[in-house]
Amino acid sequence: MFCFIVVGFLWITFPVFAGGLAKYGGEFMATGGGARPLGMGGAYTALSEDAYAIFWNPAGLNSIRHPQLGLMHSERFAGEVDYDVAGIALPQPDNSVIGFGIIRLGVNNIPFTRLENPGEPISEDNRVEVDKIVTEGEYAFYAAKSGQFRNWSWGVAPKLVFKHIGSEQQAYGLGFDAGILGRPIEKLPITAGLAVRDVLGTVIAWDTGHTEVIVSTIRFGIAAKINLPALEAKIIPVADVDYRLEAIGESNAFASHIGLEYLIRDSIGLRIGSDDGELTFGGGLNLNPLSIDYAFIDHDALGETHRVSITAHWNRH
């Protein structure tokens, strides 16, 4: 019922936002956190079970029984863009879980240029020169909570968005994400999840007076955990489908993510996937209480992305 209400509200209110869409304005939040998801093509809506669930599907936090801390660094587009994520999950006495997270995407050393004589046309005697070097940054700060309703977990994640271009332009926005996660058929090892990012639209207000709206993205996922007792291993196939409301009627409104993990003794993970057609792969090593994961994607147009994450999990006592 929650899903139908949210989706219905989005379709009703979408025309209100249509005039000020920030197309791709929330893309830095869509990448999520953790190297494990990227190694499986970014399909994590139904498999979220660690501190990075804050960014993928906050309902997944409810599967965490002990405090977790996740840290990730990624260099995207051949090292031109830094992408860093941190998340912490804290189980509560009432069986709920709260989480806090931050995403930062930054581009350093951007040259701003000017003419030597701004009032004159460009020429051999009036050349372009570097006026200053600035840094562009986009941040999202999350506070999440998850709980249980019958056989399903639910989660909500309010967030504060901050963007800046040097020190000259700044913007702030408020929004929230929400999701559910559970097993549709109790006897089958299959989980399904639905997450909505920027549920009511996230309004970004710049100090220049310009206002834009990040429109919702709906993501549905399914995952299975298949035990292989003879090999002391598991096979975990996953699949996600995204629908971006900002691209209604366009060919790129839908995006697909599929992946596969081969998990040996719950200690060594080998992963491969497709992130909307781009091949990904990676691996992980569980050295309790630390897990270390790596993922790689080579985008045809945007270059290589390497992602490394570390997750610490410990007993509260």
Local confidence pLDDT in tens for the 317 residues of the chain: 444 444 444 444 444 444 466 666 778 898 889 999 999 999 999 999 999 999 999 999 999 999 999 999 987 766 678 899 999 999 999 889 999 999 999 887 677 787 888 878 888 877 887 777 777 889 999 999 999 988 899 999 999 999 988 777 899 999 999 999 999 888 889 999 999 999 988 999 988 888 889 999 999 999 999 999 999 999 999 999 999 888 777 777 899 999 999 999 989 999 999 998 889 999 999 988 899 999 998 776 666 788 899 999 876 44
Letter for the amino acid at 220?
F
Question: In whole angstroms, what is the distance from residue 31 CA to residue 46 CA?
Answer: 16
- The residue among 178, 180, 194 whose CA lies nearest residue 150 is 180
Q: Are 116 and 104 in contact (CB under 8 A)?
A: no
Instruction: Count helices and strands (H / E) in the chain.
Output: 4, 17
∠77-215-248 over CA atoms, to 5°?
A: 90
| Cα 101 off chain centre by | 11
Which phi and psi angles does 25 have, rounded to 5°? -65, -25
Q: Comparing C-alpha atoms, which of 182, 185, 204 is closest to residue 194?
A: 182
At the topology level, CATH places domain 2-313 in: Porin (2.40.160)
264-294 residues labelled b (16+ CB within 10 A) or e (exposed): eeeeebebbbbbeebebbbbbebeeeebebb
Q: Does the bond joining 58 to the residue before it have cis omega, within 30 degrees of 0? A: no
How far, CA to CA in Å, does 242 sit from each of 42, 53, 128, 132, 256? 11, 16, 43, 39, 6
